[in-house]
A and B are shown apart, each in its own frame.
Chain A
Amino acid sequence: MEKVAIIIPAYNEENAIKKLISSIHQLSFSDKYSIHPIVINDCSTDNTLKIALGESCTVLNLPINLGIGSAVQCGYKYAYANNFQLAVRIDGDGQHPPKEIEKLLNAFQKGNVDILIGSRFLDSTGFQSSIIRRLGIKYFQLLIKLFSGITITDCTSGFRLLNRKAMQLSTEYYPDEYPEPESIILFSNKDLSLGEVSVNMIERQGGVSSINSFGSIYYIFKVSLAIFFTFIRLNFQKN
C-alpha cells in the first residue's frame, strides 16, 4: 500500500476546507493507496485552523504567514520526512475537486514521470478561467518552452502529483511567491520528467485569489525574472 499525502495549503478558507477534507475521505482506493490529508494553515485570520483541527487530518499550523510557496514546501518537507511515497498538492479553496485526484494517480501508474500536473486546457473541460488569465498562462507556456524545451499547457496549475524524487528537490528549494511556473523550470532543469493529465477544475468556493488585477503585472514581471534567473543558476553555475 502506498502512502499518499494530500497537501492542502490554506489561508482563510473556512468556507471550503470542511467540505474538501470530507470529500477527500470519501475517495476509496481499496488497499492500493492510503490517503492522508495534510492541511497547512498559513496563519489564517478566520476559523480555518479550528475547522481543520476538528477534521481527521494532519494540521501544520504556521505561526507566521509565509505565503503559498513556503506553505506548500512545508507540506512537502513533512511528507518527505514521514515517508510518503507520493504527494498530491491541491488548493484549499475547492478549485480542485478531490475526485480528480484519481485521474492523477491513475495516470501516474501508467506514465513514467516524476511530476504530474493536472491541466484545465489539455482537453478544455471544466472551468476555463478568464481570457486575460489564459493569455498570461499562454505567455508563461512560451517562456517555459524557451527555457526548458517542454510544453506545459497549464503551467500555473497548483494541482500536482510529486514522487519522492520531486519532493526531495522541493525540500531543498521551492519558490515562495507564485511558485508554479518557476518550479517547472526547476524540475525540468534538474532532469526530472514532467507530464500532464486533463482534469476538471471549478470556480473557487470561497476566499479570494492571491492574484488580483493590480498585482498581475507585478506577477508577470516577477515570475519572468525568476524563470530567467533559475535557468541561468541551474545551467551556468554547476559546481
Chain B
Amino acid sequence: MEKIQIIAIIVSLLFLIYISKLILKRKLREEYAIIWILSTCILILFSLWRNGLQVFADLLGVIEAPNLVFTGAIFAILIYLLHLSVTVSKLQRQNKTLAQKLAIKEVKEETKKEE
C-alpha cells in the first residue's frame, strides 16, 4: 500500500468519526449526514482500490483519469449547494410566515385586553 492510500484512509476515517460526533450532539441531522457518509465511503473505496479510478475513466471514455475526479466532484458539489440553497430559501419563507402570524396574533390579543 502506498503512503497516500494510508493517509487518505486515515483522513476519511477521522472525517467519519467527526460526522458521527456531530450527529450524536444533534448538530447535524441524519438526512444531511447521509450524503457525507456516502461520500466518505466512496473516498475510502477508491483509497483501497487504486486502479478503480482508471477502470471508471476507461468505462466512460475519459482520457485523463484525474479529470473524472474533478468533473464528478464539482458536479456533486454544485448539486448539493443548489439543494442547500433551496433548503435555506424554504427556511426563510417559513420564518417569515411564523413572524407575521405571531405579530398578527399579538395585536389580536392586545385588542382583546382593551375591550
A residues with CB within 8 A of B: 63-65, 177, 218, 221-222, 225-226, 229, 232-233, 237
Contact = CB atoms under 8 A, between A and B. Distances in A.
A215 B42 CA distance: 22
Given A64-B94, A229-B23, A232-B24, A222 B101 contact: no
Contact of A225 (B30, B94, B97, B98): B30
12 contacts: A63-B98, A63-B101, A64-B94, A64-B98, A177-B31, A221-B34, A225-B23, A225-B30, A225-B37, A229-B24, A229-B30, A237-B24
B20 interface: yes
Contacts of A65: 94
B30 A64 contact: no
Contacts of B34: 218, 221-222, 225
A237 B24 CA distance: 9
A68 to B, nearest CB: 14
B23 A64 contact: no
Interface range on chain B (Cβ under 8 Å from partner)? 10 to 19
B33 interface: yes
Interface in B12-37: 20, 23-24, 30-31, 33-34, 37
Nearest to B94: A64
Secondary structure call for the A interface: helix
B97 to A, nearest CB: 5
B32 to A, nearest CB: 10
Given A63-B97, A64-B97, A64-B98, A225 B24 contact: no
A96 B33 CA distance: 33
Q: Which of B31, B33, B34, B97 has most chain A Cβ within 10 Å?
A: B31
A182 B79 CA distance: 29
A165 to B, nearest CB: 22
A135 B37 CA distance: 25
Nearest to B37: A225
A91 B101 CA distance: 27
B19 to A, nearest CB: 10
A57 B43 CA distance: 54
Given A64-B98, A65-B94, A229-B20, 13 more contacts: A63-B97, A63-B98, A63-B101, A222-B31, A222-B34, A225-B23, A225-B30, A225-B33, A225-B34, A229-B23, A232-B20, A233-B24, A237-B24
